């Protein structure tokens, strides 16, 4: 019998929870209508969408009308960043992010840099943390936006968003705060009433929901220019038709995740800690990348395994039925070192030898044991062939 694939790349996407399928099926088979006024079918969907927004808003202590449905996190990031800058460009043309941010933020900022904006890129420390002091020092009279990635997508480091918000609130003029929460949502509590976040992006498929939908949190009175134009079917910011069944699935996935968030995150933390402990204790010359303990997200483990290539380890794990990642999932198509690890001060060998394992609520101890056992065999074999390792042994 063929072995079931072990999936440890859950930062990219997660297995949909089986409980969302029946919820989604009802909309695809029977309630497939778009929202509308005056007519029964459309009014029913309007009411359902309001319920979905209330469910999602509750997970972050936000009002339902602050939740805007999108076609995913990338769309939400584009709507927020472009919308804020286009609505406020008369107030300034200086924007701030960090060199370790998610590609959605970096590519949007590069676009505006070519369009006449000035960008300040903040550097992280060796754990991938960008300090609030660096943000404070970078603010200028013409600064209008700071964007950050709450949980780093490569190493799992949690950024001090509350400290950022305090710095921006104490600035002598209005500076907006946009947060990419793709890796953070469902990994720890969030309360929009106690943060200074203006806009925040979330993807459904990171919490066992369907692919292709997400939401943008927009604080009341945060001005956004319209950047997606078309018929207002579901949302006034993400115009055009959307998959209502997937939105229902998203709401259900959020309901399941946040029903007992402490238990959800404890399972993830226990799994990742167990995996890390076995790797560090049983494989020599391994270094943890990113913050340790509570400073990193509960699902992410990134390690550098010296003297061998992460791509080779990843391919050999794949041949053994294990899916994991090397470096940044959004930049792994080539053999370039991870820009995040390099910014943290890792050398080329450490970056090229990095492996990222991200667990989910469906990950079992048996799967982790199998993965580590295979990884140990792979490391021994690859190091046997590695001239760098042989050189180290000969010294």
Write down the residue that tokens 């990171």 correspond to: 206
User: Which regions of 99-175 does DSSP assign to beta strands (E)?
Assistant: 118-122, 143-149
Write down the residue that tokens 């053999």 correspond to: 335
Q: Which of 104, 30, 34 lies closest to 247, judged by CA?
A: 34
Angle between helices 73-88 and 103-114 (to 10 degrees): 30
Q: Which of 176, 171, 202, 162 lies closest to 77, judged by CA?
A: 202
- CA–chain centroid gap for 252, Å, is 20
- Within 8 A by CB and 6+ apart from 37, the residues are 43, 46
Q: Of these residues, 11, 97, 298, 330, which one is catalytic? A: 330
Structure tokens that stand for 257 in this block: 């995740």
Ordered strands of the 118-122 beta sheet: 67-70, 214-218, 199-203, 176-180, 143-149, 94-98, 118-122
Q: Cα(304)–Cα(294) distance, rounded to whole angstroms?
A: 20
- In three-state secondary structure terms, 314 is helix
Give ∠ CA 378-313-130 in degrees, rounded to 5: 130
Structure tokens that stand for 253 in this block: 């996935």
Ordered strands of the 300-305 beta sheet: 286-288, 300-305, 354-358
Q: Are 120 and 109 in contact (CB under 8 A)?
A: no
298 is catalytic: no
Q: Which of 3, 43, 10 lies closest to 203, judged by CA?
A: 10
Q: Which residues are catalytic?
A: 330
């Amino acid at each position: 019998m063929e072995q079931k694939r072990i999936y440890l790349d859950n930062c990219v996407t997660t297995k949909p929870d089986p409980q969302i399928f029946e919820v989604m099926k009802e909309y695809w088979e029977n309630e497939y209508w778009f929202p509308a006024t005056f007519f029964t079918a459309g009014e029913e969907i309007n009411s359902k969408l309001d319920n979905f927004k209330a469910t999602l808003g509750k997970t972050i202590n936000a009002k339902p009308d602050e939740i805007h449905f999108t076609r995913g996190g990338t769309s939400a990031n584009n709507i927020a960043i472009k919308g804020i800058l286009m609505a406020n460009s008369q107030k300034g043309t200086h924007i701030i992010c960090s060199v370790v941010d998610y590609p959605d933020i970096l590519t949007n900022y590069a676009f505006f840099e070519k369009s006449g904006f000035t960008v300040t890129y903040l550097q992280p420390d060796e754990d991938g943390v960008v300090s609030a002091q660096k943000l404070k020092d970078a603010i200028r009279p013409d600064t209008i936006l700071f964007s950050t990635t709450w949980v780093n997508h490569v190493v799992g480091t949690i950024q001090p968003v509350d400290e950022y918000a305090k710095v921006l609130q104490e600035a002598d003029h209005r500076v907006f705060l946009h947060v990419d929460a793709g890796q953070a949502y469902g990994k720890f509590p969030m309360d929009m009433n106690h943060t200074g976040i203006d806009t925040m992006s979330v993807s459904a498929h990171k919490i066992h929901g369907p692919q292709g939908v997400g939401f943008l949190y927009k604080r009341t009175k945060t001005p956004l220019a319209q950047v997606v134009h078309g018929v207002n079917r579901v949302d006034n910011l993400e115009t055009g038709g959307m998959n209502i069944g997937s939105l229902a699935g998203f709401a259900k996935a959020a309901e399941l995740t946040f029903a007992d968030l402490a238990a959800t995150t404890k399972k993830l933390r226990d799994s990742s800690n167990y995996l890390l402990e076995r790797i560090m204790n049983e494989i020599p010359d391994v270094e943890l990348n990113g913050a340790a303990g509570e400073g990193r997200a509960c699902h992410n483990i990134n390690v550098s395994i010296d003297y061998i290539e992460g791509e080779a380890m990843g391919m050999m794990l794949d041949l053994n039925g294990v899916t994991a990642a090397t470096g940044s999932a959004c930049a792994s198509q080539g053999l370039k070192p991870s820009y995040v690890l390099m910014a943290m001060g890792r050398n080329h060998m450490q970056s090229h030898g990095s492996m990222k394992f991200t667990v989910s609520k469906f990950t079992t101890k048996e799967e982790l044991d199998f993965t580590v056992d295979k990884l140990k065999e792979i490391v021994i074999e690859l190091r046997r062939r590695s001239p760098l390792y042989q050189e180290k042994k000969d010294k």
